[in-house]
Amino acid sequence: MPYMNVGKENSGSIDLYYEDHGSGKPVVLIHGYPLSGASWEKQVPGLMAAGHRVITYDRRGFGRSSQPTTGYDYDTFAEDLRRLVTTLELREFALVGFSMGGGEVARYLGKYGSQGVSKAVFISSVPPYLLKAADNQEGVDLSVFQGIEKAVAADRYAFFTDFFKNFYNTDLLLGKRVSDQAVHASWNLAAGASAAASVACVRTWYTDFRKDLPRIDIPTLVLHGDADRILPITASGLRTAKLVKGARLVVVEGGPHAINWTHADKVNPELLDFLGQEKSAQSLTGARM
């Protein structure tokens, strides 16, 4: 599948790997840390079967995309996304972000507006603001993020091993809703990411999206597990749903961070209902003609 250029670092080109499948109304899926577009494999078939054109891409530094040492901030991530939708000439497309990917959705809509965007979805997402501050007492102390950053820099492979335990809540769900092999596959994806990106992205987790979210003026769905140990629902999903006017909140009972994998049986119907069953609608229209 193709690559798209989004810039240069010294003499090297910065290219994003993306996949573009199916036909119909476009849906852009934006992955979380430290994975790639491949992490959407439980959603892509259903979206295509429902009549959607599905685009996934690897954020800079991850998956098959280039691994520069620059550009790890949400203004740049949103600009990369803007390049993608402009290059593909997408119209009436939906943006679906998981975890870190929700930051792209928020910053894109806050920065560029909703022209051309039909709907927005936040799944286990990082907004609105995770850092504890005078005006954000619900946040997490900076020292926690600094500790994570040091741990990733010291031995990211060991960090990822512990990270995925809480990503999937393996103490409760291993062998039930996620296999050891799936967890290992996620570790492999993470290990293949840029070392620089793995460290630099930690600071992006406490980006302030509180001004971006109220600017969203399109139908919005917020999906979050109530057992999320990476981004607790009280700090993220519930607050995001309140800041986006008219947002629809769906709480996945017992859902960990990676509900798009462990609870795909709950997430996918909600996602398809929100985005629309295009083939079913087309068939119904045709039958009435």
* Catalytic residue set: 99, 228, 257
CA distance 202 to 124: 16
CA distance 289 to 281: 13
End-to-end CA distance of the chain: give it in Å, rounded. 38
- Measured between alpha carbons, how far is residue 249 from residues 93, 141, 254 in Å? 21, 27, 15
Task: Name which of 226, 7, 213 is nearest 122 in CA terms.
Answer: 213
- b/e 49-87 (16+ beta carbons within 10 angstroms → b): ebbbbbbbbbbbbbbbbbbbeebbbbebbbbbbeebbee
Q: Would strands 3-9 and 12-21 be described as parallel, antiparallel, or unpaired?
A: antiparallel
